[in-house]
Amino acid sequence: MSEADAGAGATPHWRVGIIGAGPGGLGLAIRLVQSGRRDFVLFEASDGVGGTWRWNTYPGAACDVPSHLYSYSFALKADWSKTYANQPEILEYFEECADRYGIRPHLRPHTRIRTATWDDMAHRWHLVDAGGGHFSCDVLVSAIGTFTTPSYPDIAGLGDFAGPSFHSARWEHEHDLAGKRVAVIGTGASAAQIIPELAKIAEQVDVYQRTPQWILPRSDKPFSDEDKQRFARSKRAAKKHRNEIYWAFENTIAFRYEDGAADGLKALALGHIDYRIKDAELKAKLTPDYPFGCKRTLICSDFYKALLRDDVELVTDGIKGVTKGGVVTVDGTGRPADVIVLATGFKATEYLEGIEVVGRGGRRLHDDWATAQVAHAYKGLTVSGYPNFFMMYGPNTNQGGNSIIIILEAQATYIMSALSAMRRHRARAVDVRREVMDAYNKELVKALDGTLWHDGCQSYFKNAAGKIATQLPQTSRWYADQTKRFKMKEYERV
């Protein structure tokens, strides 16, 4: 029964409920429509599709994966304006996909799912949203993303600051920053994009860096009309271009000590610093002392340039606190600020933050993960004890090198294969066998050992227990192979 079929007062029910209309959830919705399945809903907390590209509207927001690869393989876009598109163009792309594939009627915006409870008797998920609305579905997919919940720093006095202070992912556009003194806390991927743009308008930008980043230069060029026409005329040319980027990215994954790939990239990053920064003191402040690849590498050409401006200061003394009028560092120096931007990242390892998932016999997913000291799943997709529940961009599926779209498409393929297998086998509910999940995770832990992510740095890859919860230590091709077919024998029918 779909929502339309539900009688007055009945709980709306669908075959498939997807939480999150970002690139993952939207991509799965399109695959469902393409296969003729229309009995599904796309719950979305915000007012529309796009996920991270809807939330992150900060100045300079862009993707550091080339756009022809950061788009669905089945919905190539011929007229990307430049190599690395900015956020408005990426959001527009996902909006267009929602229209083109008829996803809007399935979208339920302003619906933030808070609890999902498996009903052992009825073989379905009961969902409750933040407004108290009740829904149900046979199969539940969480596609809420990894960089979803902003991480706010615990800095003394931050609440006393007199001016606006906001997180990079919740940009408050109502403040005119022209002529203002802006403090930016953090120097990750978001900050590196924000700072060059802020520098153009603010009177002064103070950049508070806790840890320097390894940064590779980015060559961003507009596509010529000729290029765009060529891609529009020939799908083959567009696919060829995409494949070339795919293989370039697939080949430059550097996460193991022994593969040596990191050495070449590290040399490139050091050359980048040398080329841009001539001042020895500034160079020392910007040169990381941890292995290349330990944290997520930034791909950005204008961050160093921005730091060379007279109206931009890199501050590396730790932050002692914030006062009404600015930021004070541990050496006692106070720097006045009108606005504070918290580019302090996300709670990436805290999967399904804000959603309570209750499985078979009343078990709680967050309790299971707390016991194991790390969020885990079979192939990042399914968890034993939680039937008919799939995650997109779940634990250990953040593939360090290639486009996340490749991973999300692989996960959509797996879920589509599961739906077909369930229909074929007349299985109402499937639950991954514990031994299958455990064996996968044992191999995962082995593969994670010996990666550069373990040593020498703090990063959002690691949770509070020091376990790597986000990263996939294999190639995207390996993962696509792993997920191309759902195998019923790996699942218990419940």
* Site residues, ligand NAP (CB under 6 A): 62-64, 147, 153, 155, 168, 185-191, 193, 208, 210-211, 296, 319, 343-346, 458, 460
Q: Would strands 491-493 and 430-432 be described as parallel, antiparallel, or unpaired?
A: antiparallel
Query: Which residue number, 115 or 252, has a Cβ lying nearer to ligand NAP?
Result: 252
CB of 334 to ligand NAP, least distance (A): 17
Report the residue number, 23 or 186, with the smaller CB distance to ligand NAP: 186
Which residues partner with 329 through β-bridges? 319
Q: Is the Cβ of residue 43 or residue 208 nearer to ligand NAP in the bound state?
A: 208
DSSP-derived pairing of the beta strands 204-208 and 181-185? parallel
Distance CA 331, CA 315 (A): 11
Cα gap 192→213, rounded to integer Å: 10
309 burial via Cβ count (<10 Å: 0-12, 13-18, 19+): middle
Nearest distance in Å: CB 119, ligand NAP:
36
* Closest approach of ligand NAP to the CB of residue 483, in Å: 21
Q: What gap in Å lies between CA 391 and CA 401, rounded to an integer? A: 21
> Minimum distance from CB of 347 to ligand NAP (Å)?
10
492: region left, alpha or beta (phi > 0 left; psi from -120 to 50 alpha): beta
Q: How far is CA 348 from the centre of its chain?
A: 8
Q: To the nearest whole angstrom, how small is the minimum distance from the Cβ of residue 171 to ligand NAP?
A: 12
Rounded CA separation 397/415 (Å): 15
Identify which of residues 192 and 437 has a Cβ nearer to ligand NAP in the complex. Answer: 192
CB of 86 to ligand NAP, least distance (A): 10
Nearer to ligand NAP, 195 or 358 (CB): 195
Residue 405 Cβ, how far from ligand NAP at the closest point, in Å? 11
* Nearer to ligand NAP (CB atom), residue 63 or residue 245: 63
Least distance (Å) between residue 53 CB and ligand NAP: 10
Residues 6+ apart with CB under 8 A from 406: 69, 73, 246, 399, 476, 480
190 vs 483, beta carbon nearer ligand NAP: 190
Count CB atoms within 10 A of the CB of residue 331. 9
Q: Which residues contact 416 (CB under 8 A, 6 or more apart)?
A: 28, 31, 32, 35
What secondary structure letter does DSSP report for 462? Answer: B
CB 113 within 8 A of CB 355: yes
Residue 470, Cβ density class (10 Å: 0-12 exposed, 13-18 middle, ≥19 buried): buried
Contacts of 153 (CB under 8 A, 6+ apart): 185, 342, 344
Query: CB-wise, 88 or 102, nearer to ligand NAP?
Result: 88
Q: Which residue is nearest to ligand NAP (CB)?
A: 188
Q: Which is nearer to ligand NAP, 388 or 476 (CB)?
A: 476
| Cα–Cα nearest to 85, from 100, 69, 72, 101 | 69
Q: How far is the CB of 190 from ligand NAP (least distance, A)?
A: 3
Choose between 92 and 368: whose C-beta lies nearer to ligand NAP.
Answer: 92
Half-sphere exposure of 358 (CA within 13 A, CB side): 13
The least distance separating ligand NAP from the CB of residue 194, rounded to whole angstroms, comes to 9
- CA dist 94 and 78 (Å) reads 14
Is residue 352 within 8 A of residue 365, CB to CB? The reply is yes
